Amino acid sequence: MISLNNLRPKKGSTHRKKRLGTGQGSGHGQTSTRGQKGQNSTSGGSKPWGFEGGQMPLMRRIPKSGFNNSKFRTEYQYVNVSSLEKYFTKGEDVNLEALLKKGLVKKDSPVKILGDGELKKSLNVVADAFSKSAKEKIEKAGGKASLREKK
């Protein structure tokens, strides 16, 4: 009967760890299988990734192109007007705190309102950005769409 206290690996599937530098009798003593001399025989002897013996490395020979602005990009959290219709009542103020409380956004970062869906309630929406259609739908329903002040 197999149970947790008698589980064992299959015979031959595990190997004893090679104990380097443990004397001549181990077969891995003195130079610890690293050879006699040379760069890699001592600690710190490895060469950096991509090193090609002093030749100009491939990654530096290939021409570079393109642009990446990810370091400075503004990451928005998106909320559709259909969600505003579903989670808020008429005349209610919609801001970051209210969206966090209702679970429509997850963290304190910029929020953009998108125009997917219909809005029939007049809401006072304060966000960091609005799509053109979202702003039109909020104002058409009798609400107000205003941008949040920057900190």
Q: Where are the domains of the chain?
A: 77-147
Which pLDDT tens digit goes with each residue over 13-46?
999 888 998 998 888 999 998 999 988 898 888 8
| DSSP letter for each residue of 56-77 | PPHHHHSPP-----TTT----E
pTM above 0.85, yes or no: no
Class of domain 77-147: alpha beta
Strand-pairing partners, residue 80, are 114
Confidence of residue 151 (pLDDT cuts 50, 70, 90): low
